[in-house]
Structure 1
């Protein structure tokens, strides 16, 4: 088996603007594509999500999953879950196994059961250009201040060692 120098994984669970800002802020993340992902099992069931391209020599998929679980409501069942599906979208069997093991391992951090699903990636639709890189293009907008800044504070407080200080 060859070692991938770059890999990718999808994440969904909250607004894709929030999720994009979180993963864009991490060392080892080389690109974040923001839009909608559907699992291979439901090709028409798109939900807000991001595709994270990363260098596994710098940041592991397990660390990315831990960040994801701690920066969205990974235990909350609510009426908007079809739009904001809590999921890790994997690209190969080894990644799916690692994701499942990571979620089970991080359950100890949460008082309620994690509802985040491990799903095989199906399809991706990119958001409109005007909404890409939303936070870093509009950090002073009210949405960013109210919803994204608190998530970035969690990132800085809990995961400072993997935050890209640039």
Structure 2
């Protein structure tokens, strides 16, 4: 099993995509990359903690290759916008890949180079060391499955799921 920690805007969006991905055994929404020793949703949303909303995606590489997991990351958000995803604005919504080893750092850098061919603007995704990962509150875990008819899910997440399905439909359930 392998775990990648990825930030691509609101964690609900990446969670929704990866929860439906074959070979993914766990998706945990959380906060990382900041300085607050006790981040929570309200403090992270304030933009003062330095944390990004992220997901820790654990998957079986024998079922789903890591390049599929990373490819889904790049189609599930816009990696060319700095500190923003649509209406979500602030450093907490930055595009980021948090590595736990030198091998992961190299894998993430290679994924950015591969993804760049699909984007006209430069990718601004940061590749930074993974610090402490703080699990988000229970309401944020598997949010889309719990609240599929909530407005944010309908307007923001559904189009991202559609895009992921178009590009990676064979890997989604």
Band the TM-score falls in, shorter-chain normalisation: 0.7 to 0.9
Query: Which of 106, 111, 119 is the matching residue for 1:97?
Result: 106
1:134 aligns with 2:143: yes
1:24 aligns with 2:19: yes
Confirm or deny: 8 A CA contact 1:62 1:99 kept in the other structure. Answer: no
For residues 24 and 43 of structure 1, do their structure 2 counterparts lie closer, same or farther at Cα, with a shift above 3 Å needed? same
Question: Which residues of 2 match residues 50-61 of structure 1 at below 5 A?
Answer: 50-61=55-66
**TM-score normalised over the length of structure 2:** 0.85
Number of the residue aligned with 2:44: none
Cα RMSD (Å):
1.4
Confirm or deny: 8 A CA contact 2:8 2:94 kept in the other structure. Answer: yes
For residues 43 and 92 of structure 1, do their structure 2 counterparts lie closer, same or farther at Cα, with a shift above 3 Å needed? farther
Q: CA deviation at 1:78?
A: 4.7
d(CA) in 1 for partners of 2:157, 2:11: 10
Confirm or deny: 8 A CA contact 2:98 2:128 kept in the other structure. Answer: yes
Query: Which of 164, 169, 172 is the matching residue for 1:155?
Result: 164
Regions of 4+ moved over 6 Å: none
Number of the residue aligned with 2:51: 46
1:111 aligns with 2:120: yes
Q: Which runs of 5+ in 1 are unaligned?
A: 1-5
Confirm or deny: 8 A CA contact 1:8 1:91 kept in the other structure. Answer: no
Q: Tell me the number of residue pairs that the alignment of Structure 1 and Structure 2 aligns.
A: 156
C-alpha offsets along residues 57-100 of structure 1, whole Å, 9 cap, x if unaligned? 11222221111111111001256241112111112111111110
**TM-score normalised over the length of structure 1:** 0.88
Confirm or deny: 8 A CA contact 2:52 2:93 kept in the other structure. Answer: yes
Number of the residue aligned with 2:42: none
Tell me, what secondary structure is at the counterpart of 1:123?
coil
